[in-house]
Structures are given as structure tokens and as C-alpha cells.
């Protein structure tokens, strides 16, 4: 993973690793009415999480799959 710098503090940010986030799908009452059908459009998106140790700014980046091969 490349080092990222905080745009505010200009210091190196720490990588907290990758996390999977759910996108799409339905929530609330739609879940009760439609059950699993409400989740058909749901997708999983992996993002790298970077945080500035000084100001606690958080940034998300798409992982570069080419580096992992």
C-alpha cells in the first residue's frame, strides 16, 4: 500500500486495512415487506481506510488489485 499524506496536516496517514461495505439493497420497512428480495441489489465494496494520527481525518480508497498479484 502506498503511503498517503493528510491534506490538512501534511503528515503520513496510517492504514487501518481493508473493510467491506454493503451498498445498495433496501432498508427499513422494505426489508420487512420483501425479505431477502429487498437485498437482491446489494453489493459488497472493499475500501482501504486511512486515518491521520494528528487530526483524525479519515479517507477511503479503492484497493489497487494489481498490487496484490
Confidence of residue 16 (pLDDT cuts 50, 70, 90): very high
Helix (H, G, I), strand (E, B) or coil at 37: helix
Written as nine digits, the cell of 67 is 498490487
Q: Is the pLDDT of residue 69 over 50?
A: no
Q: Is the pLDDT of residue 1 over 60?
A: no
Written as nine digits, the cell of 27 is 432498508
Q: What is the pLDDT of residue 3?
A: 82
Global pTM reads 0.65
The ranges assigned to domains in the chain are 14-68
pLDDT tens, position by position, 20-57: 987 765 555 655 556 655 556 677 889 999 999 999 99
How many alpha carbons lie under 13 Å from residue 20 in its C-beta half-sphere? 4
Is the Cβ–Cβ distance between 19 and 59 less than 8 Å?
A: no
Amino acid at each position: 500500500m502506498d503511503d498517503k499524506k493528510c491534506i490538512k496536516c501534511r503528515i503520513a496517514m496510517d492504514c487501518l486495512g481493508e473493510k467491506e461495505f454493503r451498498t445498495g439493497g433496501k432498508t427499513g420497512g422494505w426489508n420487512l415487506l420483501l425479505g431477502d428480495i429487498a437485498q437482491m441489489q446489494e453489493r459488497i465494496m472493499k475500501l482501504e481506510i486511512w486515518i491521520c494520527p494528528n487530526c483524525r481525518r479519515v479517507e477511503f480508497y479503492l484497493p489497487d488489485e494489481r498490487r496484490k498479484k
